[in-house]
Structure 1
């Protein structure tokens, strides 16, 4: 059986997966006093070596970071937690291997490609006695947390409805290897939806049912940049998904996630109540302005930053996990990630069946983050 995360010293982290997103984690780890990066691994050792060299050249971390094979990282005694930055289709496999090695695990979103795989991860972690965390941790930043505090302080009254909108022509325009976005486990809902669904649950509480619709408009996409520019790739998922989430509180959230549209004037998220409306910043970012239009008011006002981790970035969820008391679920924890995945999978099930679908999982609304600096 694995040991719980040791919270008496910096949490020693090993990264599996050295793709594009790793740079954002490295930037945060250089600032976080509760996280110590010790090793990196990738199926492509050249990429792992490049990440280790970048870190060590920056002078961060006592003793430097070593590039190793995946199996060596999983067996390493100086790795307490595995940061899983592999592609979505591999999330469950890597997480299960880390848990089997007695390591805590924190993954990029989604927790797994399906709820069935995600359930295996949570069950294995519970049996092993290790902690599971998962992105997005953007909800811990000052943007979403300031909006949450405004709701909790009653500035709009009891929320009655929300909208969440994300539209883009598609990631193949800028990503040099966008194939996974258009395979099972990808798409606008499973790629970008975790930010929005996790933010809605953080703001408004868990979801009990959904009804959705979806479309699959093109059979292939054309890569727009990098060495594969002009190459055509297949599309195997829905590229426009919309629906309504019914929260346990009774709030109705309308969700639009699209890789088919060009732009929108809509706020990323709006929350409506009888006393006002909140315009919530982009849940893919950690900061941003929260704006309020009060009942009887004449214009939007920007609320002062009042909650959340200041200056945060990807990886702050790991630092938050490291400071979570033993036995408590981390704010960016596996249960919340599973619930978000369940909501999204249920929405796709509803879109394909034409019927409302009950969401059977539950996740407690995570505790609020006071205005806090995590930097050392």
Structure 2
């Protein structure tokens, strides 16, 4: 109840304390810990919130955390006006360091037993909303009026890094998404309410001239652990690969269909009938496949494919030469064969540069091709 001699400031302090909020004076006192509150009268912060040093809170920021919940704000973040962070009914919100949140309004809301983790160097802008159990890895971004529920954005480097392959995952557009996974170096753009299928693209497709600064790719023998990365590789490049090889069919690209096929490949490899390899770039992403199939009598047929965003970078030649070395040194093979369509000049030139010689034309599935052979 208001008393006649109670000042406006005293009334405001009492109202905030009654609701478990910091008073304007207490918000200003955060400066002793390096926290800048530009307008303590419009900023609302729960006493239960843990705020690290060097944060900047613009006018109109609200950070709520009830007695059953947990909310931590790491160092060096900037919260713009209109940002609302709310953990209630046992929810948990953790924000890392050096993120930019809320230019244009942003809401981060964790309800009963929900957990939202936001990494370092994240950007949430232009009305973005994050709810449910969500993980936004280092360097990830949500740009636009997107309501993202229970999403995972792969961790990476900040958006300022010149190599898009190493940046965190990105969502852009206007609408609602739920349960999506956007990996490192990927972007799910033009989000809208009527989206029925979610297929992230490589950020490099939007920045084809950007430098490649990660460690060089390595060739790895196919394992069960590669399944998710290989499926992402095949999905992203499905349309691109149609031009050179027959499409695998819709069933192959479903989680169950792909899992069955992947198990079958590993079984063939275990029997020694084939040797499968993936080319993995410095950011842990599959950018190519090189396989030896139909192993018999000391020989095998080689086949390869490189992601569209990574083509014309010399990766195919490097991978083919490495597999030729492995074929002799590790698999005990003495010769490799290959075929290429007569119109695929790039493939034919690559085979010639890697030591394969033409042995004559033949027909495969009705198409005239050139056959090649290399003695190891």
TM category, shorter: under 0.3
> What's the TM-score once normalised by structure 1's chain length?
0.22
More strand by share: 2
Larger RCO (CA within 8 A; separation ≥ 6)? 1
TM-score (norm 2): 0.22
